Structure 1
């Protein structure tokens, strides 16, 4: 069964569950034991589903090359090859693991491909030249892969990536970590057909870049099976997010939150202005800005609706902390004594908080707000800032971003937004993921924009986890709309008109 509406293929208004590899193995086992579906039958279903997906996506396919490893993933590949041969589609299988090393269902599937007339080769040099309508199938490594690639599979992956032909990955691209999305060397696929449970790694780290379009097939697993195995993550789309309610006809500005943006050290005023305008365009009733005196004129000129206040010390900030519902600290904050004073004062204010950028770096230093945990703040680190907050190398965060997001949330409480291709939102009840946005958004000011959006949503009444989820989605979708004119040269402020359209 493909992406239709069921417990694991919900409607667009329902979030999706993402699983670790071990959890998917548990699901497999339950399908076999409780639904009494033999393992070989599941393998045949997976192979047929992948073959059908290949034919649907590339209907003009004239030849197929399948790259098979030694486990169940390779077995799926042999089933695909056998089905192609049955339909008189020329198919060549690269046998990455000798047949005498295969066991169980994988060995049985190898025999099926051989009997149906697929051409089996053991050397990449024996593969035929790629023709116009050739499709490559990656069935080398499955969810059990971890560590470093070994010969000859490393050479096969390099061969696949050098080929001009489109690639279909079976279950997940070979070399991609199924849990974290980490990959050093991995297959870059145009599409991935994944089975039983959506693997978290397809939506994290390098997963979105390597997997291409993800097609899910539950292979007939029953809802009762999914009820027995907890998911690692919950993935939200635009339709599954809590939105702001419609405004009443007699609404007034004080009902929609007062946001204070704190930042803009010497030479860094633009970041605070971007965050302020983002809060305004997301719908805040009132927006204040506390910044260096030299940035006030620029703020009044660019956005006169923002109440800009010059502050030269934490003491001058103090009176501004009494009325806001939300305080966002960090855009252009810098790392000076002025910066530390402002964070120290704002971090102890009664209003809800959003911390970003240098506020996080100062927090990680341990001198300001040391030991403080708050249930009413949102921290929005990128990978480097996350590493500093935890005192670990960035490579460790990249290797397991879910663990890192959870660790930051446990250390500081509140809600943590770990930004990336799959942005994670960690909170007391779990971890969520939002996949949206594009590479054009890798430019200065985008994080400041997100800070202002999330702060505005909190001020308008959304709970912190809901505000973080919706804010990340608005940010990414606005980026996608703005990128219609091109990704290169995309600026943070280009997103503002689209944020306004999307938030309503």
Structure 2
């Protein structure tokens, strides 16, 4: 099994940059040229037949990378023009030297967007405006340059990070939309969470010879897990029987929401749980038994009627279709007192955020699975604050409620006492109703099959996203939650 990839803060990568220069015993301009050569090699590999290149350079080292790339293009006899967002006379250090190098190679450098020819589909844009040090608001001139890049009909290549994207949080108001990003020295968290996956395109990593010992000495913000680094379920013994693999009770399905609770039950069953019980409104029993006769469906009209059902299960999943009625609150209150692991989702999270049910409760044996809006309600803040720093939000929810928190998104985060993990599986076709209900059932089933909560959360997120990716091979639009069920079954082994 592979080790997860560490994702660093911008400051940690700057420190790694300094240590790399010292370890290699080279001037910093040589490391800049090494980065530019690596970037140009990937650029040329993908767009070797491009007609011309426009390079947008800022005033820092990222701009310096851009000037060197322009020089390399000129050496290859590729028509290249640089737009200098910062007057070259103001450049300092390595950026100044890189600009001189480009000029010696005959690169035309322009200081005004109005002087720059309009790009066409045969023009490759190289974005070297802002590096990993960017945060806060864009200067107006940089904003205008980014808008010009975004209107370009041709491909866009970003150096280290798309300009306007925060390297630590993945937050972006106005940012470059790249087709490829080549990043250096250490992987930055912002490329893989928040807006990062939507803005970076294909991400290529070049370590530039950074010493492994220096990387290991730095504390990453997040560990990124993939199919090869996530622990899987062990093989089943030949003499297996159903009680070995967990009895899951799924609680929810208020009036009008019966499908949600049934989908959670089905995903638990398809993920290998030994027994599935369902506690829901009486009117949903017939549909549940028709759709999935393997489920033991029970009618409950109050928290008191739920009580006897809490004695048998090994895991309780509460929230899918739960609603926010007095019935909903009663069921959550009773389920929350059970002495077995809980998976809490959907309206159970919204009720929890309200503070009237399970107020102040912290549990080490529950998994909370909020999306951005639910996380904001749990923290009593605006969704913009969660989107501004998803990692910080996931950590804050985990610290407030303990246990394990799965903050769902394009880069789903798993926060726990040991740190924060990230899994990138999934696709935009999964932006449809019922997907979260499936994830709830998967998490519960994996816990029932004896995975520790953190490992169950990681594997569940990957299974869910990978099943979505396989199902989406037939098309993104129209992808339904239930389309994932056959794939979940195939992938779980």
Give the TM-score range, shorter chain: over 0.9
Equivalent in the alignment of 1:258: 247
1:453 aligns with 2:451: no
1:231 aligns with 2:210: no
Equivalent in the alignment of 1:363: 352
CA contact (8 A) 2:54 2:125 kept: yes
| Distance in 2 between residues matched to 1:392 and 1:69, nearest whole Å | 35
1:469 aligns with 2:458: yes
Q: Deviations over 1:416-453 (max 9, x none)?
A: 00000000000010000000111111111000010001
User: Out of 192, 195, 200, which is 1:203 matched to?
Assistant: 192
| Distance in 2 between residues matched to 1:375 and 1:284, nearest whole Å | 22
User: Out of 64, 67, 71, which is 1:75 matched to?
Assistant: 64
| Distance in 2 between residues matched to 1:224 and 1:353, nearest whole Å | 40
User: Out of 256, 272, 287, which is 1:298 matched to?
Assistant: 287
Q: CA deviation at 1:132?
A: 4.6
Equivalent in the alignment of 2:380: 391
Q: Deviations over 1:239-264 (max 9, x none)?
A: 11100011121111111111100000
| Distance in 1 between residues matched to 2:26 and 2:187, nearest whole Å | 20
1:405 aligns with 2:394: yes
Q: CA deviation at 1:131?
A: 4.6
What is the RMSD computed on CA atoms of the aligned residues?
Answer: 1.0
Q: CA deviation at 1:228?
A: 2.0
User: Out of 113, 120, 125, which is 2:109 matched to?
Assistant: 120
Q: Deviations over 1:112-135 (max 9, x none)?
A: 011101111112222234355321
| Distance in 2 between residues matched to 1:37 and 1:295, nearest whole Å | 70
User: Out of 388, 405, 427, which is 1:416 matched to?
Assistant: 405
Q: Deviations over 1:182-225 (max 9, x none)?
A: 11100000010000111100001110000001000001101111
1:286 aligns with 2:275: yes
Q: Structure 2 matches for 1:150-161, cutoff 5 A? A: 150-161=139-150
Secondary structure, aligned partner of 1:158 = helix
Secondary structure, aligned partner of 2:342 = strand
| Distance in 1 between residues matched to 2:475 and 2:121, nearest whole Å | 29
User: Out of 405, 424, 427, which is 1:435 matched to?
Assistant: 424
Equivalent in the alignment of 1:329: 318
Q: Deviations over 1:37-70 (max 9, x none)?
A: 3211110011111100101111212311100000
| Distance in 2 between residues matched to 1:114 and 1:132, nearest whole Å | 26
| Distance in 1 between residues matched to 2:224 and 2:26, nearest whole Å | 29
| Distance in 1 between residues matched to 2:61 and 2:315, nearest whole Å | 52
Gaps of 5+ in 2: none
Q: Deviations over 1:96-125 (max 9, x none)?
A: 100111110000001001110111111222
Equivalent in the alignment of 2:100: 111
| Distance in 1 between residues matched to 2:316 and 2:47, nearest whole Å | 52
Deviates more, 1:323-332 or 1:223-232: 223-232
Deviates more, 1:411-420 or 1:29-38: 29-38
Equivalent in the alignment of 2:236: 247
| Distance in 2 between residues matched to 1:177 and 1:131, nearest whole Å | 29
1:215 aligns with 2:204: yes
Q: CA deviation at 1:364?
A: 0.6
Q: Deviations over 1:11-37 (max 9, x none)?
A: x83311101111111111211234423
Equivalent in the alignment of 2:11: 22
1:494 aligns with 2:483: yes
Equivalent in the alignment of 1:4: none
CA contact (8 A) 2:131 2:161 kept: yes
CA contact (8 A) 2:56 2:127 kept: yes
Q: Deviations over 1:380-405 (max 9, x none)?
A: 00011101111111111110111111
CA contact (8 A) 2:156 2:179 kept: yes
Q: CA deviation at 1:229?
A: 1.1
| Distance in 1 between residues matched to 2:142 and 2:326, nearest whole Å | 54
Q: Deviations over 1:347-406 (max 9, x none)?
A: 110110000000001111111111111111000000111011111111111101111111
User: Out of 92, 102, 111, which is 2:81 matched to?
Assistant: 92
| Distance in 2 between residues matched to 1:333 and 1:210, nearest whole Å | 35
Secondary structure, aligned partner of 1:416 = strand
CA contact (8 A) 2:121 2:155 kept: no
1:181 aligns with 2:170: yes
| Distance in 1 between residues matched to 2:451 and 2:315, nearest whole Å | 12
TM-score, normalized by length of structure 2? 0.99
| Distance in 2 between residues matched to 1:131 and 1:495, nearest whole Å | 40
CA contact (8 A) 2:121 2:153 kept: no
Q: Deviations over 1:288-346 (max 9, x none)?
A: 00000110111000000000000011111011111111100000000011111111111
| Distance in 1 between residues matched to 2:143 and 2:387, nearest whole Å | 22
TM-score, normalized by length of structure 1? 0.97
Distance change (3 Å), C-alpha of 1:352 and 1:89: same
Secondary structure, aligned partner of 1:29 = helix
